[in-house]
Amino acid sequence: MDGPILAVLIHESPANFRALAGALRDLSVETYAVEGHHTAISLVARLIDRHDPLLVFVDASTWRESHAEIINLAKAGHYGFNVIVLGSMPDLEAQASALAQGAYQYVAPPFSHETLAKAVHAAASDAWDRRQALAHASHP
């Protein structure tokens, strides 16, 4: 991957993302935040067009209400992005549900540097590899 990893954070409350935003800064992930699921889809669409992020982090409550719209944005983009759902605590049922609805990963605090780094780099690498494959297929 060339350059920093770009991510959009969609949340209902800044408090939900404070710990994550700090941990992502430590991983050199550049973030853009959008608050509120009612306006998030149009704002996310503009941010995606402008910055073409590899990752979109969504809090679990917003994901439950907006997962179809977010997945449609990922599919509609030039090369897509991966979605990581942020829970308030580890929850296997919520994780299984998020993955079944199209999320790439589910994470919850506390965030260990190593665990979050693995999740972020795996999701970003997957999105990057898809982009490269699609670019190569369209320009052989």
Rg of the chain over all Cα atoms, to the nearest angstrom: 14
User: What's the CATH fold of domain 5-138?
Assistant: Rossmann fold (3.40.50)
Q: Where are the domains of the chain?
A: 5-138
Rounded (to 5) percent helix, strand, coil in the chain: 55, 20, 25
Q: Rounded distance, CA 122 to CA 104, Å?
A: 9
The DSSP 8-state label assigned to residue 79 in this structure reads: S
**pLDDT (tens place) for every residue of the chain, 140 residues total:** 667 899 988 887 777 688 888 899 999 999 988 876 566 677 778 877 888 899 999 999 888 888 888 888 888 766 689 999 999 888 999 999 999 999 999 999 888 899 999 999 999 999 999 888 887 887 76
Stated pTM of the model: 0.89
